[in-house]
Amino acid sequence: MKQVLLIDESSVFRDYLKDKLTAKHVGVEIGLGKLDSLSKIRYSLPDLIILDFNPNRGIAYDILEGKKNDPNAKDTPVILLAQSLDKNEVTKLHGFGVRTIIPKPLKIDQLLSAISSVLGVDFEIDNTACILEARVNENVIFIEIAQGLNREKMDLLRYKIRELIDLYDLATPKVLVMMTDLSLSFVDGPNLELLMNSVLADNRIKNRNIKILTLDTFVRDFITGGKAYAEIQVVTDLSRAIDSLLRDVTAANDAPAVISERILTVKNGVNHQDATLEMRFKSELETLKESEQSIRIAVVDDDVVIRTVLARTFQAIHAQVDQFESGTSFVSDISGRNYDLIFLDLIMPGMNGFEVLGKLKEHDVATPVIVLSAVSQREAVMKVLSAGVKSYMIKPLRPDAILKKAIEVLKVTS
């Protein structure tokens, strides 16, 4: 049996890939840290090593150096997962026997193809164009699906849902699946069944807490006609769906209200190859702290108290924070600086948050944005969704909630 050693800190990615490889009768071991990984390289002699890489941390090079110095393991092929590398870095890595470097965020088909070329294992890969996002707002998991149903992304969805429930400690998770632009037929039945199986895979999610937003008659008939989907409601109105899901959530709840991390919806003409579900998810505060020196954050808010809270929160972990007291001052400097994250107030004198978002779109700025709002939850949800914004937090803000959200949005690589 072929053996793979997977060295990655994301449990979502590990579990997904382990199940995928096990189904093809490939054994998988997990390397946790440098010493454990080097021990398994030395004694298990895997046929392939898949290694998550961050040049800011020495662990990857330590592992590669140890592998290179082991006569039995030095020729073991390595697939490296990396955010961005310059030519010098790539040349250096090839000297350690790295066969393939796959950029992050990962594309499922690209990764499986690389594994297949090394192990000689064939994977059936679904290349259907599909946009799939899953994020949390209070106790509601918002799942947005557009363009089509891709089996690889829907399979990964079950792991992402589990991580979100654990990350936000959702005692009674509620789910809204938004499929408003899909038009399906009976040939899509197996894919729709896979989607629902992924949504229902975690036993903490109950049918009565799931709503499907769709205008498609086939989807409606499929859900309402399936015994396994009893009590799942199919709705056609977003406002009513959100109202009913958030009805029991009070403004006194300490948790921040958040939906997704993308600031603009994907428009027609998007490159389908780039519009993939990101496979890298983080759930530990430590990963944010480990990467703190590379984090640069912009805070755009006319409230000096909010700016100070956000600045002190991130300065405490040595992240660089630039403060802007107006949308105008931020936009005037938008082309000269690159940020990892932007906190943006909606209601400001002069140029408001929605106008700033328009400027970001004009300048093709893809930086993740967390929109700040002091209005009611339902109003905030509807307002940001209608504007194409998919990430917000309700004021007042708590430092621990801010950091938790930053972990998810930044998708910090380590």
Q: Note the pLDDT tens digit of each residue in 93-137.
A: 888 878 789 887 677 778 888 999 999 998 888 888 888 888 886
> Strand locations in 220-262, DSSP E?
233-235
Query: Per mean pLDDT, which range of 27-41, 116-130, 203-217, 286-300 is the poorest?
Result: 286-300
Buried b (16+ CB within 10 A) or exposed e, 262-275: bbbbbeeeeeeeee
Q: Cα 70 vs. chain centroid, distance in angstroms?
A: 36
The two three-digit tokens of residue 330, written as one number: 């931020």
* Bridge-based pairing state of the strands 320-324 and 78-82: unpaired
CB atoms within 10 A of CB 175: 23
| pLDDT tens-digit series, residues 340-365 | 888 888 888 889 887 888 888 888 88
Question: Which residue has better confidence, 279 or 4?
Answer: 4
**pLDDT the model gives residue 49:** 93
Rg (CA), the chain: 22
The 10s digit of each residue's pLDDT in 366-376 is: 787 887 776 55
Which pLDDT belongs to residue 379?
A: 61
184-194 pLDDT, tens digit per residue, is 999 999 999 99
Distance CA 381, CA 392 (A): 8
* pLDDT above 50 (res 265): no
pLDDT at res. 402: 74
The residue among 281, 319, 279 whose CA lies nearest residue 412 is 281
The helix or strand, by DSSP H or E, that contains position 112, with its residue range, turns out to be helix 108-119
Name the percent of the chain lying above pLDDT 90: 31
Q: How high is the pLDDT of residue 16?
A: 86
Number of Cβ within 10 Å of residue 387's Cβ equals 17
Distance (Å, rounded) from C-alpha 286 to C-alpha 57? Answer: 13
- Residue 254 structure tokens: 């300490």
Mean pLDDT calculated for residue range 146-162: 89
Torsion of CA 389, 391, 394, 398, to 10 degrees: -150
Quick one: average pLDDT of 29-41? 92
> 98 CB contacts (<8 Å, ≥6 apart)?
64, 78, 79, 80
Read off the DSSP letter of residue 267.
Answer: P
Which domains does the chain possess?
A: 3-119 (3.40.50.2300), 131-246 (3.30.750.24), 285-410 (3.40.50.2300)
Average pLDDT over residues 156-165: 89
Interatomic CA distance for residues 222 and 189, integer angstroms: 8
Distance CA 52, CA 56 (A): 12
Q: Which amino acid is present at 115? A: I
285 confidence band (pLDDT: 50, 70, 90): very low
Name the CA dihedral angle for 282, 287, 288, 290, rounded to a multiple of 10 degrees. Answer: -160
Beta strand extents in 346-386 (DSSP E only): 369-373
Residue 384 has pLDDT above 70, yes or no: no
Kindly report which listed range (38-47, 206-215, 336-345) carries the lowest average pLDDT score.
336-345
Q: Which pLDDT band, with edges at 50, 70 and 90, does 60 fall under?
A: confident
d(CA 292, CA 412): 9
How many residues does the structure list for the chain? 414
